[in-house]
A and B are shown apart, each in its own frame.
Chain A
């Protein structure tokens, strides 16, 4: 039976990928940010999960605004990265697990999460950069991955509560799969940042830290905020933090906090890494 061993969060900003690609991770600006990933990398190395379900948002690579699914699940054998407009070299393709994806799709729809299934899905920096930060850039990625895209770009976007409930449904879906898989869920994006408008540059360190602590110990706290309240505090792009709740919802109520790392600013954001371990492992 498939088991969820835990969850990991990571920022997914483009600058992270650029810093890795350009060998800047030990430069003074980046060092503290990247050094704080080492315990998360060690945890993944120790537990060797087989599959990562990566919760992220597409920023206009796979989806254009002609069709914007609220939740979309990759159901393919492979997922390719591609040029997002910045002329960067794409990273190697990612291997999926199509039978597992389709099982998840079936169980999610049964639980009234009517997700969009994708047999072709290009994955952008939102998906790629957390994996690069956690595994380094590889020709062959050491873990199978399943993209789970949440619309955080075009409002209406799902509520924090809805994301948390999706996580719960995802947990039931994962745990009902027969294959003996060790699964980790990555919640990506956030924390506070606003890229647009005269309010650009907003970072709220205190709110970010409260989010990190509460997502670990009391995630329902964040589910009581409306999206407007979250954007008011964390910026329009900080709304991505709701995706951490998908990860958290997939874990049991009590989890072990293996690692907690926060750094600000990194590019325009407050960036957090949480490693939460399922109690039974």
Chain B
């Protein structure tokens, strides 16, 4: 085998590996990206019905309920403009509290009045003052929306 043959073979092997890696990454991205939505966006129907997403906002005061053996949890995530009921089964993180920021990952289930966000995961926070950036953004968006609504008289 001549030197340039061998080098060509090496380059071809490296390129095909690179191509394989790119294909892997792209398909993994397509299947596994999780988008974030605020309660207002969910109310406006922007959130996907079929795939999972992240929902962020505040846990509404007085909305936490436990059912059954205490593992079934229901609460409401709000951005002060809209509210989304959430159902979850399992242990809540240490810093989950009413009136505090929260991010839940899951999907929408049910229709009409039964429609709720079934969370597979309620994300833990690490610090008592820490507000998940997603939750903070949802609140800012809702606030900006409310101001614009008041000023422009939008419905």
Q: Do A and B come from one complex?
A: no
Instruction: List chain B positions with a Cβ less than 8 A from chain A.
Output: none
